[in-house]
Amino acid sequence: MTVAASDRSIWSDRKLTLDRLGIGIPACVDHITACGDRGVHLMEMGLTPGASVTVTRVALFGDPIEVVVRGYRLSLRRAEARLVALRSCGEGV
């Protein structure tokens, strides 16, 4: 299930992850749920708490997805994107 921009309740779901974010909806990284090397790898790619992310494209069959983070485009598998918890950029850290 992908969340659309018209869905007003997207931020009431405290478990919104990057793989469910709709195209063009800005969000901020809340935390990375992966431990060890996988979590470190995601953070090294710029997905750190507070970083703004927007999904820009999705491949034909839904995997991978392309996001803009820190001014560059990053392609992630849905399994990786599922490890990135999001929040509204207006919320506190």
φ/ψ of residue 82, rounded to 5: -65, -20
Q: What is the pLDDT of residue 64?
A: 94
Q: Which residues of the chain fall short of a pLDDT of 50?
A: 1, 5-6, 93
C-alpha span between 13 and 8 (Å, rounded)? 11
Q: Within a domain: residue 93?
A: no
- Domain total in the chain: 1
Q: What is the pLDDT of residue 8?
A: 52
Domain extent at residue 58: 18-87
Name the token pair of 30: 């809340």
CATH number assigned to the domain comprising residue 77: 2.30.30.90
C-alpha span between 47 and 6 (Å, rounded)? 25
